[in-house]
Chains A and B, each alone.
Chain A
Amino acid sequence: MLTCKQFLQELNDYLDPSTDPATKCHLEQHVNECPNCFIVVDTTKKTLQIYKGLEPQTIPESVKARLWKALEKKMAARKAQA
């Protein structure tokens, strides 16, 4: 059986849906028998879930206004060139 350290090295493969079933099965064995790694897997999944579930916040209005001002300037220059 894998040691915890070996398993953790392969954690991303374990979490990756595209990993081949044989590798996954091999890793799964460790998770089933090791309560600590079971928790690490579970909380790593939750960590990713919580990050992925978060929409980016809106940009401060002043930042946005300056971005558009800069873009409009550039676009106007392009138009003048054409």
Chain B
Amino acid sequence: MTPTTTAAFDESALVEKARAGDAQAFTELVNHYERKIYRLAKHITQNDEDAEDVLQEAFLKAYEHLDGFKGDSKFYTWIVRIAVNEALMKLRKRKGDRTVSLDEPIETGEETVQREIAVWEDNPEQRYSRTEIQQILDEAVEGLKPDFRTVFMLRDIEELSTEETAEALGISIPAVKSRLLRARLALREKLTRQFRRKGEDVFAHL
């Protein structure tokens, strides 16, 4: 995703200043990342109140522990990790620990769902309003299991690497890979139901 940057945004310089006690620099970091962190929190917790708590906790903790930030990863990756931890704690609290453990192996048995094979209508982005698209995409993500949607959010939306995602979630690299695959396929499936070209043989273009 293209960051919503102003040309002047220099993360490491701001972090440096913030660590030296410059509150204004920290304010700029918050301004820059608050929307992404809120979106991440909302997608993981699926609850407005929890998302707000996560947003606050993440930035408050980051501010508090700036000294502990070593600068060997990006500040953004660091704050994402804090937010993910907070969000997963909320999720566990709300749903009871058992259902959302991210360490449990994922079932890899045969897929029973019928795979949806259909070409899409042209440019769905232009056929629906921004709000409609947003809603379709959000609902699709929300329909994923927490394990899958968290990995999808980190890898494909926040664009963390496989290794960073594994580290943030405390799971193995193969687990990140297999969850990402399943998340992508499931989303493709859901969006295809929404955006499939209507009223013609699906193979007509071939």
Which residues of A pack against B, CB within 8 Å?
A: 8-9, 11-12, 35-36, 38-40, 42-44, 46-48, 50-59, 63-64, 66-67, 70-71, 74-75, 78-79, 82
Contact = CB atoms under 8 A, between A and B. Distances in A.
Contacts of B23: 75, 78-79
Contact of B56 (A40, A46, A70, A82): A70
Interface residues on chain B, size class? 35 or more
Interface of B: 1-2, 4, 21, 23, 26-27, 30, 34-36, 38-39, 52, 55-56, 59-60, 63-64, 115, 117-120, 124-125, 133-134, 137, 156-157, 177, 180-181, 184-185, 187-188, 191-192, 195, 202-203, 206
Nearest 8 A/B pairs, CB to CB? A56-B35, A56-B39, A47-B188, A44-B188, A75-B23, A59-B38, A36-B117, A63-B52
B65 to A, nearest CB: 12
B107 to A, nearest CB: 15
Contacts of B39: 56-57
B1 A43 contact: no
Contacts, number: 106
Contacts of B177: 12
Contacts of A12: 177, 180-181, 184
